[in-house]
Structure 1
Amino acid sequence: MKFNFSLAVITVIAVITILPASAQIGKRFPSEKKVIKDPVTGTELIFLTSTPGGDSKIYPTHPQWTADGEWVIFRSNRVKGEAMAVNEETGQIVQVTEGGYTGMLNIAQNSMKLYYMRNIAATAEGDWRSNRSLEVIETDLAKLFQDSEAGKMKPANKYQRVVGVTPTEIGAGGDMALDAGEEWVYFRIGKEEAAKHLDPGIEIKGDFGPRNMGAGPGGIAKMNVNTGEIQHVVSVPFQVGHIQSNTWNPGEIVFSWETGGKSPQRTWTVMTDGSGLRPLYPEADYEWVTHEAVISKDEVAMAIMGHRDVDIEEQPLEEAAKSTAVRDPENPGQETSWGPSGTRKKPTGLAIVNLRTREMIIAGQTSNGSGLWHVHGSPDGRWAVGDDFSRSLYLIDRNSREMKMLTTGHKQTAADHLHPTFKPDGTKIQIQSAMLSEDDRSMNIVIVPVPEEWLQRNYPNKI
């Protein structure tokens, strides 16, 4: 049969024309909002999404709410590869990206803007998988929400602006962070680019632990959101993990040495000009530090894990790192090759470090089980919050040190962990949960209010 080239071209064009309409920015979805009580604790749980739409929240290192406090932005498969926003009051869901995104979603806190990276579309020379260039995109959320509500959406380029494009040769990654001044975004760079800015006398670190991660060099660069200008920030001799900005203090960055588990020195901080590079919390071999999150202008919360048996074989960290072991997804971090860290022979729990004084306190810890794992805190210094391996959520009063389980039963089979994050006003916590999922994996976006009787507590001096 003779191939009809003209018909094939017309068909392809038609498909391309149809696709954006079904995945258009500003598309609205009906409310799924449900309010239920936790069957164990009685806490009111506000499910902003409640169907198996492939939802997941933004990581706790980054803001979750828009600057006006009305919308929560999250990842979803309702439209594959696109991000959504849900109105906390009405439950209305709106698509806020078109054309996809990669890495972290960055919600501005002083303007109704959203920033993220996007893989550059395929070209005749190859696609993004080979050229490794990324676009940085800015979305005008105020205009988007207004036009979506009015039912008068315009083409995507009326809401989305290309801030700039990263050069192929720097190997940019998608774990981006927006500076508090909202003039710069920070992102990872590749090993070759990082090496160009590293003193040749510095020893490059190798992989650490059973996941074969952590080898350097690594680095951070920044892009100006007004001009697209790119500048180097810092290079280090190890693999850079999460990058976050202090959203209260312009020019301050917190990042991690990523190994997939225990790191020789997990937490780091540096200023936007590359000055002030130092460990944020200098950790010992026996300390398993993880999941750091900036929670206020002067503080960073982190977990010092207490999830391993005290009888774990104690051997020097360097020797333990060479051991072989099988990863246990149900009880992570038990491999001997992580070394002697993570037991409760030393203090563990939800730690809070002051960026100015460098003092550290332990705000609280569970009495048994894995201990607190993903942690956060309210900017006013009143509360801290953490989850554990059982997917239970614990609230801590930082003044009285009282601890309360807020909710449990979010299914250990869930596709991810709770990842609690406080709303900036300190009255609510956002988590992700599989409590309602029939497949025991699919997650939803949930708001957990701080108990009213706790909110009424009045202390003469805040932390």
Structure 2
Amino acid sequence: MPLPARAALCLLLCAASAHAGIGQRFPSERQVVTDPVTGTPLTFLTTRAHGDSKIYPTHPQWTADGQWLVFRSQLAGNEALAVNEATGAIVQVTEGGYTGMLNLARKSMKLYFMRQDREPGRLQVIEVDLAAVLADSAAGKPRAADAYQRLCGVTPATLGAGGDMALDADEEWVYFRVGKEEAARHLAPGTKIEPNFGPRKMGAGPNGIARMHVRTGEIRHVVSVPFQVGHIQANLWRPGELVFSWETGGKSPQRTWTVQADGSGLRPLYPEAPYEWVTHEAVITPDEVAFAIMGHRPIPGGATAVGGPATDVGGANPGQDAAWGPAGTREKPSGLGIVNLRTREMTIAGQTPSGSGLWHVHGSADGRWAVGDDFSRSVWLIDRRTREMKLLTTGHKTTAADHPHPTFNADGTKIEIQSAMLAADGRSMNIVVVPVPPDWLARK
């Protein structure tokens, strides 16, 4: 190769290397696929095997402008990506990695997450200016990561911090789990510490929740509990209100909990009975939380569910171990439950006639719709006013690496899922947007 050409190639490679980070762009993979069973048009925003997965349903999926969906993928290593729903453009929006939950602000084009600090046991809380990243990326002029990423604060190693970080509705505080030693310091003397529960040998306490101010880095303790804390989520409309879970890997003695940011008001959110298998709670409106009361297990010595067997698992789904006890059958009411945080009243919005029942659930912020997936990876839409149910999409493969995890956008017109429908290996997930049917949206 002539020297000038070799020099030009070197400069080109150096420039590409300099821009291989936050703001890096990837080709569109966008493709609309018609569901072969329901006819629903499914917008696959990713279609290749990059190990994609969506943000968990307890947290927002779309950016504040409603144009981009942020997701996890190995396309750029351990970095978060954003995909434009209209164009399919994919942009890397973090640099330096992350751990735990990705938190999209609803009032500003910001992203918050945790990542490992250089000092062992410490975690950084990072803020990303998504508006700047996306604008510079579109202009072909991405800058260094420090131009977009801001260190909010660092958790001391003594906290044992981690878990599902949540961003408060005021976008001033983030909440995260603290470890046993820190939690024990704040428990009342004589508090009974819960042991592990269930065959997965999880659930033992104590654990706690702390919060950090994203402007000052100030850290305050919120609450300690005598059991293992699972998902932590903030009410996206009411500052200072949290919902969290007792995590056992399956049925919990009391799954759902709520507390205020100052530690007051700690109580079970939905007081459950020993025969109820409550799981996958999600705050869906300013005053409501959706959750699943599972009906996935056969009644001992009883008949199968109406229309088919009570289970449709084939080894692909959890909860069949006898060691979980009697919970999770349809001998008692089950389905997609919705509890009011103010009145404490609960209603069941719907339930599948057979199979596992609804599993991961969500709802639209306007209170019109609810949605859930089941063990077959099918996704069901519910009209909360009429209780009518509609199968939106199916065929997402029980061999998939994860479950659909349906989640509404801010205006309740679309649902994001993750799907292995196109996966050659039957496992690899892609990011998909499913519309609420136009005739349903037209209902008064």
Structure-2 residue corresponding to 1:394? 380
Structure-1 residue corresponding to 2:219? 230
Structure-1 residue corresponding to 2:68? 71
Structure-1 residue corresponding to 2:107? 110
Could you give the per-residue CA deviations for residues 353-377 of structure 1, whole angstroms, max 9, x where no partner exists?
A: 0000000000000000000000000
Pairs within 5 Å for 1:51-66? 51-66=48-63
How far apart are the structure 2 equivalents of 1:331 and 1:71?
A: 31
Pairs within 5 Å for 1:132-143? 132-143=121-132
Taking structure 2 as the reference length, what is the TM-score of the superposition? 0.93
Q: Aligned pair 1:258/2:247, yes or no?
A: yes
Structure-1 residue corresponding to 2:276? 287
Could you give the per-residue CA deviations for residues 286-326 of structure 1, whole angstroms, max 9, x where no partner exists?
A: 0000000000100000000000011179xxxxxxxxxxxxx
Q: Is the 8 A contact 1:117 1:174 kept in 2?
A: no
Structure-1 residue corresponding to 2:3? none
Pairs within 5 Å for 1:162-311? 162-311=151-300
Structure-2 residue corresponding to 1:49? 46
How far apart are the structure 1 equivalents of 2:84 and 2:106?
A: 16
Structure-2 residue corresponding to 1:317? none
Structure-1 residue corresponding to 2:308? none
**One-letter identity of the residue aligned with 2:227:** F
Residue 98 of structure 1 deviates from its aligned partner by 0.2
| Correspondent of 1:332 among 318, 322, 332 | 318
Q: Is the 8 A contact 1:56 1:75 kept in 2?
A: yes
| Correspondent of 1:345 among 331, 356, 375 | 331
Q: What CA RMSD, in Å, does the superposition of the two structures yield over aligned residues? A: 1.5
1:19/1:370 CA distance change after superposition, 3 Å: farther
**One-letter identity of the residue aligned with 1:93:** I
Q: Is the 8 A contact 1:23 1:79 kept in 2?
A: no
How far apart are the structure 1 equivalents of 2:372 and 2:317?
A: 17
How far apart are the structure 1 equivalents of 2:16 and 2:156?
A: 29
Name the SS for the 1:368 alignment partner. Answer: coil
How far apart are the structure 1 equivalents of 2:15 and 2:349?
A: 54
Q: Aligned pair 1:355/2:341, yes or no?
A: yes
| Correspondent of 2:81 among 84, 87, 94 | 84
Residue 149 of structure 1 deviates from its aligned partner by 0.6
Q: Is the 8 A contact 1:312 1:340 kept in 2?
A: no
Deviates more, 1:136-145 or 1:328-337: 328-337
For structure 1, the 5+ residue unaligned runs are 1-16, 122-127, 314-326, 459-463
Structure-2 residue corresponding to 1:99? 96
| Correspondent of 1:370 among 356, 366, 371 | 356
Could you give the per-residue CA deviations for residues 414-458 of structure 1, whole angstroms, max 9, x where no partner exists?
A: 000000000110000000000001011000000000000000000
Structure-1 residue corresponding to 2:31? 34
Could you give the per-residue CA deviations for residues 6-46 of structure 1, whole angstroms, max 9, x where no partner exists?
A: xxxxxxxxxxx999747400000111100010001101100
**One-letter identity of the residue aligned with 1:251:** G
Residue 174 of structure 1 deviates from its aligned partner by 3.4
How far apart are the structure 1 equivalents of 2:128 and 2:195?
A: 39
Q: Is the 8 A contact 1:172 1:188 kept in 2?
A: yes
**One-letter identity of the residue aligned with 1:104:** M
| Correspondent of 2:389 among 371, 387, 403 | 403
Residue 152 of structure 1 deviates from its aligned partner by 1.1
Runs of 4+ in 1 over 6 A off after TM superposition: 17-20
Residue 53 of structure 1 deviates from its aligned partner by 1.2
Deviates more, 1:135-144 or 1:327-336: 327-336
How far apart are the structure 1 equivalents of 2:163 and 2:283?
A: 19
Structure-2 residue corresponding to 1:120? 117
**One-letter identity of the residue aligned with 1:176:** M
Name the SS for the 2:193 alignment partner. Answer: coil
Q: Aligned pair 1:440/2:426, yes or no?
A: yes
Residue 278 of structure 1 deviates from its aligned partner by 0.3
Could you give the per-residue CA deviations for residues 127-155 of structure 1, whole angstroms, max 9, x where no partner exists?
A: x6xx2100000000011111111111111
Name the SS for the 1:174 alignment partner. Answer: strand
Name the SS for the 2:425 alignment partner. Answer: coil
How far apart are the structure 1 equivalents of 2:275 and 2:233?
A: 26
Name the SS for the 2:182 alignment partner. Answer: helix
Question: How many residues end up aligned between the 2 structures?
Answer: 421
Name the SS for the 1:148 alignment partner. Answer: helix
Q: Is the 8 A contact 2:163 2:231 kept in 1?
A: no
